[in-house]
Amino acid sequence: MPRFSKAVLSLRSSEIRDLMTLASRPDIISFAGGMPGNDLFPVTAVEELFGGLDLKTKQAAFQYGPTPGLPTLLESLSGFLEKKGLPVKENRLLITTGSQQGLSILARAFIDPGDTVLVETPCFIGALSAFRACEAELMAIPLDGEGLSIERLEREIDIDERAKLLYLTPYFHNPAGLLYTAERKRQLIETLQGRDIPLIEDDAYGDLYFFEEDRQRLKPIKAINPEGIEVCYTGSFSKILGPGLRLGWMLLPEEIYAKCELIKQSADACSPSFTQVLADAFIRSGQIYSYIESVRLEYKRRAAAMVAALREHLPEYVKWNEPRGGFYIWLTLPEGADATDIMKLALQGGAVFVAGKTFDPDASSKRNNSLRLSYCNNTPEQIAEGIPIVADAIRKSCG
């Protein structure tokens, strides 16, 4: 019998991944995956850009590349990030095979079995998986309307000063859809300064804002560049170009970068050169900015369609956030409701979503009275058809 490691024995399949088979059925309207719409990808533009490259560059796209990333992409991506105010020159940029690899690398860099990692609840399932794979003890800090609860964060830090990391997704949170306030980020900075707890700031959705008045709230903590905090900033091309490229990045302090580069060498040697060449060409053409603007407007349209459908069909006892960007709406049901049972009912009607327990850092928790809806991969017409199915399932289960 195979003698697996303790780390691998603790791994569990993601419920979201398990739902993908169902979601691919043509008779199912899926609100489950946080996937960009296939119809929105810039296929023609990328084909033309690649076709216009010289032979030497095309050949390099088929070759191994340096572990940190192709120098051309590191240069163009640095310019892209500097436009967001990020301190690129004071840090080191590392290309990763999707932002998920970045989280896995950081987990390996910091976590020994039994170490405490502070996370939001609910929390991005990919981060939970990365931390659990390193046998971390997860300490869940609840969210309120402005972000992570500072009172609870301070309490948990005082209880366990050995916490190795704090992980946050402040910009159109996955799954809660929340945008942190500037004041809450200020409080977070004050709380963390001098604590020797590195912050992982996950910013996969910050470019997908719907309202110009939110621009100031979108300034990353990494861009604020606070003293006394090691901020590890992660981002991705998955939501702003295409997840099939499998490209993300980390902007890291020098000492942390050095360890992360070594870990990446042992993991995959280098990220795909082919897609790095495509991403570099897309940035240098300037089309990345107009493309992000176009998908931002389309996601805003789809979000508005879901908001309208929820207002029309949901029972009054269901609480939910109106999205200001990103991909998600988080529904909270009455205490004692079981979102998994509701999902089974919805599947019978032809729609699927993700039950809230999937995002709970506390694996032993029995609470399951929340669910995540994604509007990113559906047309307004599909949303109008699918939301009544979800609402009907909620009524059948909750009354």
Closest CA to 141 of 162, 157, 120: 120
Name the residue type at position 174: N
Question: What would the mean pLDDT of 169-189 be, rounded to a whole number?
Answer: 98
Q: Among residues 255, 262, 220, 260, which one has the least CA distance to residue 90? A: 255
Rg (alpha carbons) of the chain, rounded to whole number: 21
* pLDDT value of position 16: 60
What per-residue confidence (pLDDT) applies to 129? 95
Residue type, 142: P
Four-residue CA torsion sign, 169, 172, 177, 180 = positive
Q: How confident is the model at residue 77 (pLDDT cuts 50, 70, 90)?
A: very high
Q: Which residues contact 354 (CB under 8 A, 6 or more apart)?
A: 15, 16, 19, 32, 175, 343, 371, 372
Q: How far is CA 185 from the centre of its chain?
A: 18
Please state, in angstroms and rounded to a whole number, the distance separating the CA atoms of residues 208 and 325.
5
CB distance 141 to 120 below 8 Å: yes
Chain segment 239-252, per-residue pLDDT in tens: 999 999 999 999 99
CA 375 to chain centroid, in Å, comes to: 15
Helices 380-398 and 287-313 sit at what angle, rounded to 10 degrees? 40
Measured distance CA(192)–CA(161) in Å, rounded: 11
CATH 3.90.1150.10 occupies which residues in the chain? 6-42+289-398
Please tell me the predicted confidence (pLDDT) of residue 335: 95
Distance of CA 199 to the CA centre of its chain: 15
* Of the listed ranges 8-12, 207-211, 319-323, 356-360, the one predicted with least confidence: 8-12
Percent of the chain having pLDDT more than 90?
89
Burial code of 167-181, b = ≥16 C-beta within 10 A, e = fewer? bbbbbbbbbbbbbbe
Q: What is the pLDDT of residue 23?
A: 59
pLDDT band at 26 (very low <50, low <70, confident <90, very high): confident
- pLDDT beyond 90 at 161: no
Annotate 291-318 with b (16+ C-beta within 10 A) or e (fewer): beeebbebbbebbbbbbebbeebbeeeb
Mean of pLDDT values over 37-55: 97
Please provide the CATH number assigned to the domain covering 63-286: 3.40.640.10
Where are the CATH 3.40.640.10 domain residues in the chain? Answer: 63-286
Please give the single-letter amino acid code of residue 138: L
For the chain, the first-to-last Cα distance in angstroms comes to: 49
Mean pLDDT, residues 172-177 taken together: 97
- Say if CB 381 and CB 29 are below 8 A apart: no
Q: Rounded to whole angstroms, how far apart are CA atoms 73 and 104?
A: 22
For residue 4, is pLDDT > 80? no
Q: What are phi and psi of 28, to 5 degrees?
A: -110, 130
Distances in Å between the Cα of 224 and the Cα atoms of 129, 166, 185, 245 are 29, 17, 10, 29
pLDDT reading at 8 higher than 90: no
8 A C-beta contact, residue 311 and residue 392: no
| Closest to 314 (Cα-Cα) out of 257, 361, 371 | 371
Question: pLDDT band at 364, cuts 50/70/90?
Answer: confident
Over residues 100-124, the pLDDT tens digits come to 999 999 999 999 999 999 999 999 9
pLDDT at res. 15: 61
Is the CATH code 3.40.50.1370 the one for domain 6-42+289-398? Answer: no
Question: Which residues, including other chains, have CB under 8 Å from residue 376's CB and lie 6 or more apart?
Answer: 34, 35, 36, 37, 299, 302, 327
User: Is it the case that residue 254 has pLDDT exceeding 70?
Assistant: yes
> CA-CA distance, 158 to 166, in Å (whole number)?
14
pLDDT at res. 27: 84
Work out the average pLDDT over 351-356.
96
Strand-strand pairing, 351-352 and 29-30: parallel
Asked if residue 137 lies in contact with residue 290, where contact means CB atoms within 8 angstroms, the answer is no
Q: How far apart are CA 139 and CA 118, in angstroms?
A: 5
